[in-house]
Structure 1
Amino acid sequence: MNSGHSSLPPRAKNGGVSKKKPPRKKKSGVKSFFKAILIIVLLAVLGVVIYAGSLYFKAENGVLDTGNNTPVPPEKAATVKPITMLILGTDYRPKHQTYLTDVMMVVSMNPETNSATLVSLPRDTNIQLEGYNSNRKLNSFYTTFKSQEKDGGTSAEDEMKTMLGKYLDVDIDYVTVLDFQAFRDVVDALGGVNVNVQYNMCHRDSVDGTDINLKAGPQKLDGKEALDYVRYRKSMNCNPKTKESNDFDRNARQSEVLHSLIDQMKSFGGATKVFKVLDAVDDNMKTDLEKDQLKNMIKAYYDINKDNVKFMPVTGEWRSPFVYINESELAEAKQALKDELAGKHMNEPEETNTDSVSNP
């Protein structure tokens, strides 16, 4: 973004903007801003709101509504207080109606440093945590909590916040859940995403409708292909078979796609498609953010730079059927989240070499 871009709202101590005639509501207007912030956090693309002058105006004038009208005390506003959010990406699809969490990230954001730190955990993580079954993969807990919720228990989202907050030794303020369809639709709304596929990927499964067939090389992927790229694990029903992938490779590909999406959103073409992006996830998201807090977030982070968004994928050792987390990396991730909250944003760590690690 060049310094001559003047459509963004100025930072103001009272958060105010000049009064203008509010734009006419559209069919999905009351939900659009809500979706925007959630996309920003899920994709670690907090910089999406760099284009959101119009969204900012709508938020300030009460045109947009999250459905959660709980007041936010001034001292807890995202404009003055660092916040932490859990991001869950489920594998729910029309042909695969489950709630396994293939994506689990925790992001801490600090308004003073205008920065964020994002920690991701492997889906097959074996959690060693008092009170939780260590014989289960991390990605299965949300499904179990959803079942317990139906029987009158605490909400599955709150249970996940409690568990991962305890695991990462950090208080988690909010949780956002999106399914795979949202990811596909966002990529399509942006006209695709540019990546460099490192090797051929082929996996076909008629049971759940999976049909992955990607060729190596730089290319632009549509929503389905981008999801295939991020999710690919191993070759199945293909001749010849293609190289297997592991949780750590998938986390690296997630990071690649997220960075590419940031660049897409920062282009003029991406900026003009922002409302298509918002509509793309209209029915594929759940969150506990308050309406007022969303307005606070856009005030605090509308100009965040992607260089101030630090990704920290935690890796480990694959011993079937689990990933046993690298304790030193886990300790570094916990400290990074705490440092972010304390205003000590650090440079992004070097990428971990996972060439020697493999799993089904």
Structure 2
Amino acid sequence: MSSGHSNLPPRAKTGGQSKKQPPRKKPSGVKSFFKFILVLILLAVLGVAVYAGSLYFKAENGVLDTGNNNPVPPEKAATVKPITMLLLGSDHRPESGTNLTDVMMVVSMNPDTNSATMVSLPRDTSIQLEGYKSNQKLNAFYGAFKRQEKDSGIKAEEQMKTMFSKYLDVEIDYVTVLDFQGFRDVVDALGGVSVDVQYNMCYKDSVDETDINLKAGPQELNGKQALDYVRYRKSNCSRKTKESNDFDRNARQSEVLHSLIDRMKSFGGATKAFKVLDAVDDNMTTDIEKDQVKNMIKAYFDINKQDVKFMPVTGEWRSPFVYINNEELENAKQALKDELAGKHVSESEETNADSEPKS
């Protein structure tokens, strides 16, 4: 994934906060992959990747409980019906009480093609959508909906699902929220993640206890370091390191997720499946039926990372918002619909098609 954009914003506070402090480093989320990769993707979506045997055993025996025990009609089972899920990565951590969704992805999966298409949006997006504030960053809506739950009687997760369904013009079946602690725990449960850090990264924030200090080069990162790697945005250290932007981070998120999928599908990863599920269980909110999780495992347990297409939607930064590139947004909408219709086009096929000389 290329990242030729360098005009992304400095970290700015969202949600109308009035205190003027140095920009706080919150999981910058944006585009693709999760800013923590929602691990969810690992479980619920590519949950898949944890290995059918141990995953299914846990689900079958009630160890994995999503909190939704409603039956799944046979015609809506993930083994026969394509489904679409909203994945939200929350910056909520033990050391913070916020609910900014700095990772926002919509994933369509098709059991017939055993493939998936994942679309992600920048955290600072200003959405132009009737009935929703255009002066509020996209990642602040979840927290706002949370605060409204008591009065509205509607869960914030349901509100987000409705909003994204309208924005991307596709019916979203489920929503899953995973916080940063879940990501860190999953990486640690798998024994770390292999990445190639392209340049030194240094950032410190005593307010939220962020302490990023990574050196360039191929290496194994633990959960805390992996989160630092995908979150890194800019440096405030005495010896400043190269700055990053949301689009660069998307590429790093993609790298980490691919590495996690490889780790999950290895024998070593399979033997650690229970630990991974425990990490997800403790840090995840979802409306997926327990039986549907079992269906997803059966449908996608052998999915390959080459069959997962990532489409980060970019845009133009005009403080304090990112204004989405309409052409990219329309392409992303169509890709989700194509996935549901069984017309999956892999990234490699798309690249080869683009490189062919026009006649």
TM over 0.5, shorter chain: yes
Q: Deviations over 1:319-347 (max 9, x none)?
A: 22111111111111100000000000001
Q: Deviations over 1:156-182 (max 9, x none)?
A: 001100111111110000000010000
Matched-pair contact (CA < 8 Å) for 1:186–1:223: yes
Q: Distance in 1 between matches of 2:48 and 2:110?
A: 17
Matched-pair contact (CA < 8 Å) for 1:312–1:349: no
- Once the two structures are TM-superposed, the CA of residue 61 in structure 1 deviates from its matched residue by 5.9
Q: Is 2:179 the counterpart of 1:179?
A: yes
TM-score (norm 1): 0.82
Q: Secondary structure at the match of 1:133?
A: coil
Aligned to 2:258: 259
Query: Which is worse superposed, 315-324 or 116-125?
Result: 315-324
Q: Secondary structure at the match of 2:282?
A: coil
Q: Distance in 2 between matches of 1:134 and 1:350?
A: 36
Q: Is 2:303 the counterpart of 1:304?
A: yes
C-alpha distance 173-63 of structure 1, shift in aligned 2 (>3 A): same
C-alpha distance 243-351 of structure 1, shift in aligned 2 (>3 A): farther
Query: Which is worse superposed, 60-69 or 239-248?
Result: 60-69
Matched-pair contact (CA < 8 Å) for 2:87–2:104: yes
Q: Distance in 1 between matches of 2:102 and 2:75?
A: 34
Aligned to 2:3: none
Q: Distance in 1 between matches of 2:104 and 2:43?
A: 12
Match for 2:52: what amino acid? A
Q: Secondary structure at the match of 1:278?
A: helix
- Once the two structures are TM-superposed, the CA of residue 279 in structure 1 deviates from its matched residue by 1.5
C-alpha distance 251-129 of structure 1, shift in aligned 2 (>3 A): same
Q: Distance in 2 between matches of 1:111 and 1:58?
A: 22
Aligned to 1:345: 344
**Quick one: higher RCO (CA 8 Å, sep 6+), 1 or 2?**
2
Q: Distance in 2 between matches of 1:247 and 1:141?
A: 19
Q: Distance in 2 between matches of 1:182 and 1:316?
A: 29
- Once the two structures are TM-superposed, the CA of residue 134 in structure 1 deviates from its matched residue by 0.8
Q: Distance in 1 between matches of 2:93 and 2:87?
A: 18
Aligned to 2:83: 83
Q: Distance in 2 between matches of 1:150 and 1:156?
A: 10
Q: Secondary structure at the match of 2:347?
A: coil
C-alpha distance 300-85 of structure 1, shift in aligned 2 (>3 A): same
Q: Deviations over 1:213-232 (max 9, x none)?
A: 11111111111111011111
Matched-pair contact (CA < 8 Å) for 1:40–1:48: no
Match for 1:250: what amino acid? R
Matched-pair contact (CA < 8 Å) for 1:67–1:291: yes
Q: Distance in 2 between matches of 1:65 and 1:171?
A: 25
Matched-pair contact (CA < 8 Å) for 1:50–1:304: no
Aligned to 1:26: none
Query: Which is worse superposed, 293-302 or 206-215?
Result: 293-302
**1:67-82 to 2 correspondences below 5 Å:** 67-82=67-82
Q: Deviations over 1:59-98 (max 9, x none)?
A: 4566654331212111111111100000000001122110
Query: Which is worse superposed, 149-158 or 188-197?
Result: 149-158
Query: Which is worse superposed, 265-274 or 106-115?
Result: 265-274
**1:107-122 to 2 correspondences below 5 Å:** 107-122=107-122
Q: Secondary structure at the match of 1:151?
A: helix
Aligned to 2:153: 153
Q: Deviations over 1:26-62 (max 9, x none)?
A: xxxxxxxxxxxx8452578616446221332454566
The unaligned stretches of length 5 or more in structure 2 are: 1-37, 352-359
Q: Distance in 1 between matches of 2:65 and 2:140?
A: 32
Aligned to 1:123: 123
Matched-pair contact (CA < 8 Å) for 2:48–2:296: no
Match for 1:216: what amino acid? A
Q: Distance in 1 between matches of 2:139 and 2:50?
A: 33
Q: Distance in 2 between matches of 1:191 and 1:120?
A: 27
C-alpha distance 63-207 of structure 1, shift in aligned 2 (>3 A): closer
Aligned to 2:139: 139
Q: Is 2:282 the counterpart of 1:287?
A: no
Q: Distance in 2 between matches of 1:298 and 1:48?
A: 5
C-alpha distance 325-225 of structure 1, shift in aligned 2 (>3 A): same
Q: Secondary structure at the match of 2:95?
A: coil
Aligned to 2:19: none
TM-score (norm 2): 0.83
